[in-house]
């Protein structure tokens, strides 16, 4: 097993916790409790992002490692008089992955489980079988038969919903399956980096940002508050090894090391920082892959243009089936991403960071 039992349990608790965009208190509290043992200051911004600091040998530069803690989820939009719940996405979903899945709704009376209902095949016309059913035609069934019964269970318009999915490790101990890997893996990595690092020539900030999936919102307020001199954003990358994906669509593969994102729709990284990360990986003999994400962005898309700008790089854990009930990633890739970022932060002294933007 790559990680110690305690660390794997933290990862399980973190990924199974309830935190769609705007409703991240539960995973934020789990991280706060975890990092309080090795941070010297814990604060938040006023949107809800958790910021924790570990002093190093120098006050400057300020280095940020930020992973977003929200997961793609849903929100209740209506309850029918027959007792079915309409809903819409918080974050991007491919509607086809939703049918017949269990979900969890958080109400003022507590959490309840429902299922996204679907017509049995016996009732489908041949032309219906070939069509993708859109989310606005779907409903959640919580076992009620009337609107009153749904209300009695505590469900109201505006209640948040997440996929219901257990974190499990495969039989060979190498691979994990579960929900919310985008980007609880990043939030986990940031916490691990702050835990493991010592005597670094900078001040290190870890952040668990909120509301990334609805437009990189927490990254904006957190970067304003921290004012970092350089930032590394741990994320998931799309693993291109599943059947039907072309290498030019997603070059990284699960199990082949962290991916260094050379380009995405929200940022062209600082090239000196990119080359620095590659050099660190090579010198430390950490496997890595060069990747790109044509469609889609990350928190770095906002952090690199906050204030006067900030050199940023995204380092990803190649993950299969992101934005669904069950993602799949290699624990060794996760460990190597932590190692790569720890090794990089240890070398980020004032001169190195100044050189990222020197003409």
Residues that bind Zn ion (CB under 5 A): 182-183
Residue nearer to Zn ion on the CB measure, 182 or 229: 182
Which residue(s) pair with 331 in the sheet?
Answer: none
Copy the structure tokens of residue 277: 């990360």
* Run of H or E including 347: helix 331-347
Q: Is 4 a catalytic residue?
A: no
Toward Zn ion, which CB reaches closer, 16 or 183?
183
Nearer to Zn ion, 91 or 311 (CB): 91
- When CB distances to Zn ion are compared, the closest residue is 183
CB of 109 to Zn ion, least distance (A): 31
Q: How far is the CB of 271 from Zn ion (least distance, A)?
A: 23
Residue carrying the six token digits 């994906």 = 245
**At its nearest, how many Å lie between Zn ion and the CB of residue 68?**
6
For residue 224, give the nearest of 140, 307, 297 by alpha carbon: 307
Count of beta carbons in the 10 Å neighbourhood of residue 65: 28
CA angle 82–114–217, rounded 5-degree value: 110
CB nearer to Zn ion: pick between 21 and 251: 21
Number of neighbours of residue 97 by Cβ within 10 angstroms: 13
Instruction: State the number of CA atoms in the 13 A half-sphere of 8 facing the CB.
Output: 16
Compute the least distance from the CB of residue 142 to Zn ion, in Å. Answer: 29
Q: Check 7, 71, 212, 213 and give the catalytic one.
A: 212
Task: Evaluate whether 153 touches 107 at the Cβ level (below 8 Å).
Answer: yes
Active site residues: 212
């Amino acid at each position: 097993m790559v990680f110690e039992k305690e660390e794997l349990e933290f990862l399980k608790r973190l990924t199974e916790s309830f935190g769609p965009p705007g409703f991240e208190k539960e995973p934020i509290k789990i991280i706060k409790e975890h990092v309080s043992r090795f941070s010297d200051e814990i604060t938040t911004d006023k949107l809800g992002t958790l910021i924790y600091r570990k002093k190093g040998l120098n006050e400057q530069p300020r280095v940020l490692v930020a992973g977003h803690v929200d997961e793609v989820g849903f929100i209740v939009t209506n309850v029918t008089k027959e007792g079915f719940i309409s809903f819409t996405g918080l974050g991007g979903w491919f509607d086809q992955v939703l049918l017949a899945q269990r979900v969890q709704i958080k109400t003022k009376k507590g959490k309840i489980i429902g299922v996204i209902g679907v017509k049995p095949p016996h009732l489908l016309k041949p032309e219906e079988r070939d069509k993708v059913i859109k989310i606005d035609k779907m409903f959640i069934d919580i076992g009620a038969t009337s609107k009153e019964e749904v209300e009695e269970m505590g469900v109201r318009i505006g209640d948040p919903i997440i996929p219901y999915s257990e974190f499990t490790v495969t039989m060979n101990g190498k691979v994990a399956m579960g929900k919310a890997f985008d980007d609880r893996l990043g939030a986990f990595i940031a916490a691990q980096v702050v835990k493991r690092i010592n005597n670094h020539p900078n001040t290190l900030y870890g952040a668990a940002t909120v509301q990334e999936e609805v437009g990189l919102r927490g990254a904006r307020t957190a970067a304003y508050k921290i004012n970092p001199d350089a930032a590394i954003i741990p994320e998931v990358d799309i693993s291109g090894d599943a059947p039907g994906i072309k290498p030019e669509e997603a070059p990284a593969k699960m199990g082949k090391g962290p991916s260094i994102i050379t380009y995405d729709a929200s940022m062209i990284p600082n090239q000196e920082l990119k080359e620095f990360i590659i050099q660190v990986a090579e010198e430390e003999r950490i496997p890595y892959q060069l990747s790109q994400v044509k469609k889609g962005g990350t928190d770095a898309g906002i952090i690199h243009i906050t204030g006067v700008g900030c050199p940023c790089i995204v380092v990803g854990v190649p993950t299969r089936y992101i934005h669904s009930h069950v993602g799949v990633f290699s624990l060794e890739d996760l460990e190597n991403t932590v190692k790569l970022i720890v090794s990089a932060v240890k070398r980020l002294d004032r001169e190195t960071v100044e050189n990222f933007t020197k003409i």
